[in-house]
Chain A
Amino acid sequence: DGGITQSPKYLFRKEGQNVTLSCEQNLNHDAMYWYRQDPGQGLRLIYYSQIVNDFQKGDIAEGYSVSREKKESFPLTVTSAQKNPTAFYLCASSIGQRKNNEQFFGPGTRLTVL
């Protein structure tokens, strides 16, 4: 089955700790994205990557970091510098480099800071 997987589904973190969210895709897509979703709001773009070994900041990159060492993987680290990290995090991918930017989403990770 082709698709996007995110793990874990639920994650709890103590204040001051870094935590890494996993995102893997086997769709052979070049582009991958991380979004944050808060209640009553749309999705906000954190980081995106159009190709391996390259990534760009989105609208709310502060307090987050990413890497793209492999085409199929785009992990997101939520650092202690992120002041309000409790949210639902969604990873997506797309073929990339074309005007129809149809994105496919993973099931999400809900992060709660205790």
Chain B
Amino acid sequence: GEDVEQSLFLSVREGDSSVINCTYTDSSSTYLYWYKQEPGAGLQLLTYIFSNMDMKQDQRLTVLLNKKDKHLSLRIADTQTGDSAIYFCAESPGGYNKLIFGAGTRLAVHP
């Protein structure tokens, strides 16, 4: 079946790196996504990775994909207080019409 799992909470010190992990089940997913949600707001697409890639870097964000283990991670370098939010991992299983979301990881950044 389709399922995306994430740990629910992560706390980091300002300036450190944050690593948010995600596992997914559908090997037919060709794209995997990371979204950010700030309190009371909609979701903002941060980045996505195509399934034939191992890594994608975009400024402070690095996405790593281990397709064999169906494991996706998002690394945020030099984490700032403005990075405090909920981060959702999502997969697009096979077809054109659905995203399956994890429950979200709440990132708390403290001084």
Contact = CB atoms under 8 A, between A and B. Distances in A.
Interface in B29-52: 30-31, 33, 35, 40-45, 48, 50
Interface residues of B, number: 24
Contacts of B4: 42
- Number of chain A interface residues as a range: 20 to 34
A1 to B, nearest CB: 15
Contact of A56 (B33, B44, B88, B97): B97
Contact of A101 (B35, B44, B92): B92
Contacts, number: 63
A50 B51 CA distance: 24
Interface in B7-40: 8, 30-31, 33, 35, 40
Contacts of B42: 4, 6, 90, 105-108
Given A42-B4, A50-B97, A98-B96, A105 B31 contact: no
A31 interface: yes
A42 B101 contact: yes
23 contacts: A40-B8, A41-B103, A42-B88, A42-B101, A42-B102, A43-B43, A43-B99, A43-B101, A45-B98, A58-B98, A90-B42, A90-B43, A99-B92, A100-B30, A101-B92, A101-B97, A101-B99, A103-B45, A103-B99, A105-B43, A105-B44, A106-B42, A110-B40
Interface of A: 4, 6, 31, 40-43, 45, 48, 50, 56, 58, 90, 92, 96-108, 110
